[in-house]
């Protein structure tokens, strides 16, 4: 706490002629360490058994949250001026006086600044605003009996950097008093899914690989994915780092067919299914067209990759399965119906 010397308030002392005998009966006892709530220190604060003098204000109190000292001889002088009888029998040197206070928290200051910024930026209630106040911000002490509101009387904001300067004040029924000017930064954020771990090229992203983070809005470009569903089940086109946003160009459908892998080729018509084996000539995802070499006929065919990794051939390619001079290359899985 800041130490101060309490000043004598001569203007608020009213001399009163009272009987010494009556005053002496109160037997006042000086306190050496007191805490007051109001702007002035009274004889009732300083003494036990101050009697009729208890409400007499004799010193100005420290500012809220601060403390100070007053010499005992100054107390004796104040006592004599009002006609109160007291002898410093304990030979007290100084009295410590502290002023009680309400502390204006960092959270409350942040709240009032945020309200002003939201109004200034015309943000919707659902928009997120990340606010960082300057470092080493000292606590603000208000009178313990303060009734009023905390408000921002002036706000300077730079949209490019998010830097701001806010002047905070208290306001009650009678006046508005400045408190402090605070600098900081305010960044509008958006909740975006990011990867919780590094993902290798070709690896399929699962829901457990994703977490939601607050990202500055200016860092969110048009192709960045904004929902978990948009990422789940997709494969990485390249190595993706944890904590980074993911764009549409970073992912693709998982490859169900891989180059040089053996694949089952299927030709299906109502009542009949033919199968053969082929070797893929390229990677392909579900729904993509892929070229294969029929293992038995050595002919190149094309088909559509299905969800189970097989390749379905179009009807006009069916003869390529049945040809090649080796009937053993083809298996009839279902005969024609009646």
Instruction: Tell me the pLDDT tens digit for each residue of 254-281.
Output: 888 888 989 888 887 777 888 888 999 9
Q: What's the predicted TM-score (pTM) here?
A: 0.55
- Residue 63 is given by DSSP the state P
CATH 2.30.30.760 describes domain 256-334: yes
The pLDDT score that the predictor gives to residue 317 is 57
264: Cβ contacts below 8 Å, ≥ 6 apart: 275, 276, 277, 309, 310, 311
15 has pLDDT over 70: no
Same fold, 11-99 and 256-334: no
Which CATH architecture group holds 190-252? Alpha-Beta Complex (3.90)
Region 11-37: mean pLDDT is 61
Task: Categorize the per-residue pLDDT at 283 as very low, low, confident or very high, splitting at 50, 70 and 90.
Answer: confident
The pLDDT score that the predictor gives to residue 315 is 60
Taking all residues of the chain, what is their mean pLDDT, rounded to a whole number? 83
Q: Residue 68 and residue 56: Cα distance in Å, rounded?
A: 20
14 has pLDDT over 50: no
Instruction: Tell me the pLDDT tens digit for each residue of 34-53.
Output: 999 999 999 999 999 998 99
Domain ranges across the chain: 11-99, 104-189, 190-252, 256-334
Q: Residue 134 and residue 184: Cα distance in Å, rounded?
A: 5
176: Cβ contacts below 8 Å, ≥ 6 apart: 151, 153, 169, 170
Task: Categorize the per-residue pLDDT at 301 as very low, low, confident or very high, splitting at 50, 70 and 90.
Answer: confident
Fold adopted by 11-99: eubacterium ventriosum atcc fold (2.60.480)
Q: Are 103 and 144 in contact (CB under 8 A)?
A: no
DSSP assignment of 240-257: B-TT-B-BGGGEEPPEEE
Q: Is 119 helix (H, G, I), strand (E, B) or coil?
A: helix
Instruction: Tell me the pLDDT tens digit for each residue of 218-243.
Output: 778 778 998 999 999 999 989 999 98
Region 276-296: mean pLDDT is 88
- Residue 101 is given by DSSP the state E
Q: What is the largest CA-CA distance in the chain?
A: 137
Assign 3-class secondary structure to 8-49: ECHHHCCCCCCCHHHHHCCCCEECCEEEECCCEEEHHHHEEC
Q: Residue 310 and residue 278: Cα distance in Å, rounded?
A: 10
More reliable by pLDDT, 2 or 111: 111
Q: Residue 102 and residue 294: Cα distance in Å, rounded?
A: 84
- Burial of residue 91 (CB within 10 Å: 0-12, 13-18, 19+) is exposed
The pLDDT score that the predictor gives to residue 26 is 57
Q: Residue 237 and residue 251: Cα distance in Å, rounded?
A: 5
């Amino acid at each position: 706490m800041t130490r101060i010397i309490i000043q004598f308030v001569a203007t608020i002392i009213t001399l009163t002629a009272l009987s010494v005998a009556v005053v002496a009966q109160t037997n006042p006892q000086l306190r050496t360490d007191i805490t007051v709530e109001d702007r002035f220190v009274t004889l009732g604060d300083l003494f036990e058994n101050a009697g009729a003098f208890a409400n007499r204000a004799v010193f100005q109190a420290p500012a809220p949250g601060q403390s100070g000292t007053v010499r005992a001889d100054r107390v004796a002088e104040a006592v004599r001026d009002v006609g109160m009888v007291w002898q410093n029998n304990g030979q007290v040197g100084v009295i410590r006086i502290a002023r009680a206070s309400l502390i204006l928290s960092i959270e409350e200051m942040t709240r009032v600044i945020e309200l002003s910024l939201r109004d200034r930026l015309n943000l919707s209630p659902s928009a997120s605003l990340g606010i960082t106040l300057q470092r080493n911000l000292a606590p603000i002490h208000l009178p313990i009996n303060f009734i009023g509101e905390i408000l921002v009387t002036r706000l300077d904001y730079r949209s490019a950097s998010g830097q701001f300067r806010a002047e905070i004040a208290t306001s009650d029924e009678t006046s508005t008093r400045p408190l402090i000017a605070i600098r900081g930064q305010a960044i509008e954020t958006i909740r975006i899914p990011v990867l919780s771990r590094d993902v290798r090229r070709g690896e399929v992203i699962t829901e457990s690989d994703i977490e939601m983070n607050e990202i500055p809005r200016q860092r969110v470009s048009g192709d960045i994915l904004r929902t978990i569903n948009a990422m789940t089940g997709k494969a990485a086109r390249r190595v993706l780092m944890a904590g980074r946003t993911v764009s549409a160009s970073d992912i693709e459908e998982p490859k169900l067919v891989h180059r040089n892998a053996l694949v089952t080729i299927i030709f299906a018509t109502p009542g009949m299914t033919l199968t053969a084996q082929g070797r893929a000539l390229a990677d392909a995802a579900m729904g993509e067209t892929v070229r294969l070499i029929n293992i038995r006929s050595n002919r190149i065919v094309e088909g559509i990759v299905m969800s189970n990794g097989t390749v379905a051939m179009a009807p006009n390619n069916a003869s390529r399965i049945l040809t090649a001079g080796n009937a053993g290359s083809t298996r009839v899985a279902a005969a024609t119906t009646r």
